[in-house]
Chains A and B, each alone.
Chain A
Amino acid sequence: MSRSDANDTVVQVTAGQRPAGAAASTTGPPAPAGAHQSAAPGTYHPKSTVHLDAVGVCAWFGSTQVLEDVSLSVQPETVTALIGPSGCGKSTFLRILNRMHESVPGAKLAGEVLLNGEDIYAPGRRLIDVRRQIGMVFQKPNPFPAMSIADNVVAGLTLTKTKISRSERAGLVEECLTKAGLWAEVKDRLGRPGGQLSGGQQQRLCIARALAVKPKILLMDEPCSALDPTSTRRIESTITELRTEVTIVIVTHNMQQAARVSTQAAFFLAEQGTPGNIVEAGPTEALFENPVDPRTADYVHGRFG
């Protein structure tokens, strides 16, 4: 499970072998993350070397457990797709990765999420810190409707009171909108409210907004499920273009989409009243063409779910 042997099997799963003390340990990363222990706090990590490891993650809503002992390693410069039928906990898992899960009343969790070896749930760790490094795009486009398009893009800086000069701001707006594939369509109306854009444009505006805070990892929760096929294609190509800049984890219901955009995939399943878990994970191609587990084969071939 160390980083050195991760070359051939990039996404590794430790389903069922929860490391001792993973849930309770606050003093240091548990065994699977041992390889990162040299990464002292505050060490500069270029985006290309960012590692995100979920270790023994469990989640509850009230007294209902929705995830049981889920572990997943996300490698740099990859697009990891989380697939699986509705209600298998993949969105919950995604929201645990940037501490959005705990904003839901009654939501609880156990386990660790290690960003370059440091637990994002460590006591005293600031939410702002975590969320600036791990950005998120939601299922329903949610630009700030009354803000202008340009203000929407830099909203993350405004929210965290990050000062930026006028010229830097203009540059950042253009850069992020270009990356999100929206610049050409909106460059002449940056002062218009973000709420006036179409659904697909709004979602790309949300991607630009998430990119503007320079996250190392971008989480996407079914970003295309509320969009038409054309907008979906636009966003998929944006994801492909972004791959070299930011590590992406995407939840999708759409098998073809997972196959098109992702390099890695993890198949979640919650069987008959049991909490969700990862059945199988690995390179997307292998998962789709040579699934090891028969349940994965059934799902990717459309036999259930």
Chain B
Amino acid sequence: MTTFDLGSVQLGSTMPRALAPGKDISDRIFHGSARTVGFFVLVITGAIGVFLCYQAVPTLRHYGLHFFTQTRWEPQLGKIGIAAVLVGTVEVALVAMAVGFPLAIGFALFITEYAPKQIKSWLVSLIDLMAAVPSIIYGLWGFFLLQPRAIEISRWFSQHLGWIPIFHVDTNPNAAVWQQSAYTSSAFIAGLAVSMMTIPLACAVMRAVFDQAPIGEREAAMALGGTRFSVIRTVVLPFAKGGVIGGTMLALGRALGETAAVLVIISPEYLIKARILEAGTQTVSALIAGNFGDASKSQISALLAAGFVLFLITLLVNTVAATVIRRSRSGASTEI
């Protein structure tokens, strides 16, 4: 609600008039209900934040900043911290983005630019169907089907790019009988499973903005002799930049919070390490889900404190993503 302080606006000797058009009853009802629903969304999100914050207070008060620097999670020994867990969470999410982003942008471009009209709607529903698969299914798929094959990829990377810290695995990759268990349950494999869940989200947002690329500019590029690919490069991608960034960040928000699939695949390890191909990692949501069942009251507080940190991170990522998308949708990127 903006209120104009008419007294402060002086236009010569003439004062601007107050404008208050009469509102129709149906308009009033719609405004009222829309505002109520919007208000409830805010209240619910706020309540979750307040609840988590309130629960986290005892833990944060007890451990202070050590909560963020301690890598171990051993409540029995009084050692509780999320340093390693946060690193693991980010690693899994980044793997998911690294794999999911090219696939999502590729699918979205294929659907909007190349796919024949007949199969377009099929592809759209297929990708949407990917979003409907429960995440535990992706976890089981990752564990039973993907993992035995993906460790071959892990081994290849560690053989050829092992000198880069993130691709290093603490075992001999060239051994005749290679130690397969060193490559399983890693952040990399969990990230692969999570990427399957982020693709439909990112793809849907990208598809929507690619479709909005102005037909006038597309035709201009075509009439100048542009191929489909050069039209994509000069018209579609520059126009959709905001949507691509926003969609990717929304997917990142999803990846950061993904629980069930990660829980099934990883083996918990509380260690800050860059070696994403190596067995063992931990994420915030998998930590909570894995320890919630047999936790004491103070342990629950610690888990909820970890949850509170994750909540703040995803809230930030999603808010930035939403802002970027909203800007691009309004056509700001075409008007300059």
Contacts and interface: CB of A to CB of B under 8 A. Distances in A.
Interface of A: 98, 100, 103, 105, 127-129, 131-132, 135-136, 138, 140, 142-146, 155-156, 158-161, 193, 195-196, 206, 209-210, 213
B225 A145 contact: no
Contacts of B225: 127-129, 131-132, 156, 159-160, 213
14 contacts: A127-B222, A127-B227, A131-B223, A131-B224, A132-B224, A138-B219, A142-B216, A144-B220, A144-B221, A159-B226, A159-B230, A206-B220, A209-B224, A210-B223
Nearest to B331: A145
Contacts of B335: 145, 195
Given A103-B219, A128-B227, A160-B224, 14 more contacts: A100-B219, A103-B222, A135-B223, A136-B223, A138-B220, A138-B223, A144-B220, A144-B234, A155-B224, A159-B221, A159-B226, A159-B227, A195-B335, A210-B224
Contacts of B227: 127-128, 159
A140 B222 contact: no
Contacts of A145: 217, 334-336
B219 A142 contact: yes
Given A128-B225, A144-B220, A160-B225, A196 B336 contact: yes
Given A131-B224, A195-B335, A144 B219 contact: no
A215 to B, nearest CB: 9
A213 B334 contact: no
Most buried by A among B217, B219, B231: B219
A160 B227 CA distance: 8
Most buried by A among B214, B216, B221, B224: B224
Interface in B229-247: 230-231, 234-235, 238
B117 A105 contact: yes
Contacts of B334: 145-146, 195
B179 interface: no
Nearest to A128: B225
Contacts of B214: 142
Contacts of B238: 144, 146
Contact of B234 (A128, A155, A193): A155
A160 B226 contact: yes
Contacts of A100: 219, 222-223
A210 B226 CA distance: 12
B333 interface: yes
A155 to B, nearest CB: 6
Nearest to A159: B226
Interface of B: 117, 214, 216-217, 219-227, 230-231, 234-235, 238, 333-336
Contacts of B230: 158-161
B223 A144 contact: no
Contacts of B221: 144, 155, 159
A246 B231 CA distance: 26
Most buried by A among B214, B220, B231, B333: B220
Contacts of A103: 219, 222
Nearest to B234: A159
Nearest to A162: B225
Contacts of A105: 117
A142 B234 contact: no
A132 B223 CA distance: 8
Contacts of B223: 98, 100, 131, 135-136, 138, 210
Contacts of B333: 146
A100 B219 CA distance: 8
A164 B226 CA distance: 17
Q: Which 7 A-B pairs have the closest CB atoms?
A: A142-B216, A156-B224, A159-B226, A136-B223, A132-B225, A142-B220, A128-B225
Contacts of B217: 142, 144-145
A131 B222 CA distance: 8
Given A160-B230, A195-B335, A196-B336, A213 B224 contact: yes
A161 to B, nearest CB: 8
A158 B219 contact: no
Contacts of A159: 221, 224-227, 230-231, 234
A195 B214 CA distance: 13
Contact of A146 (B219, B220, B222, B336): B336
B169 to A, nearest CB: 43
Nearest to A131: B225
Contacts of B234: 144, 155, 158-159
Nearest to A192: B336
Contacts of A160: 224-226, 230
A247 B222 CA distance: 20
A73 B216 CA distance: 28
B199 to A, nearest CB: 27
Nearest to A105: B117
A146 B220 CA distance: 14
Most buried by A among B216, B222, B225, B335: B225
A188 to B, nearest CB: 19
Nearest to A132: B225
Nearest to A151: B234
